[in-house]
């Protein structure tokens, strides 16, 4: 799965990164730790229901309430780039 992970602030992309991640909930959680480390942000709490939202709708919007630590942005937007 190829994901475009964008840090959004005031409806503008502040920082973004495209990464290949493995399929599966546990693999996504583990790979997101690595990606968030590259972006220098805390890792969000991704519940299984939020993972299913990403799979079903190919996008996921995480707000500051999805993070344990405080963050300096409005949302973390994850979009699944489907390759044909």
Q: Please tell me the distance from the alpha carbon of residue 14 to that of residue 22, in angstroms, as a whole number.
A: 25
**Are 54 and 76 within 8 A, CB to CB?**
no
Residue 83: predicted pLDDT = 55
Pairing label, strands 2-9, 12-20: antiparallel
- Residue 84: pLDDT above 80? no
Residue 33: predicted pLDDT = 93
Give the structural domain span for 24: 2-81
Residue 49: predicted pLDDT = 94
Model confidence pLDDT, tens digit, residues 18-65? 999 998 999 999 999 999 999 999 999 999 999 999 999 999 999 999
Sign of the dihedral defined by the CA atoms of residues 39, 43, 45, 48, in that order: positive
**Are 16 and 7 within 8 A, CB to CB?**
yes
Q: Please tell me the distance from the alpha carbon of residue 82 to that of residue 12, in angstroms, as a whole number.
A: 23
Indicate the number of domains in the chain: 1
pTM of full prediction above 0.75:
yes
């Amino acid at each position: 799965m190829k994901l475009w992970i964008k840090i959004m602030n005031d409806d503008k992309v502040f920082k973004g990164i495209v990464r290949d991640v493995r399929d599966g909930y546990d693999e996504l959680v583990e790979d997101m730790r690595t990606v968030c480390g590259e972006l220098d942000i805390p890792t969000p709490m991704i519940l299984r229901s939020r993972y299913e939202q990403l799979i079903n709708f190919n996008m996921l919007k995480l707000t500051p309430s999805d993070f344990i630590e405080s963050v300096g942005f409005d949302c973390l937007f994850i979009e699944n780039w489907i390759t044909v």
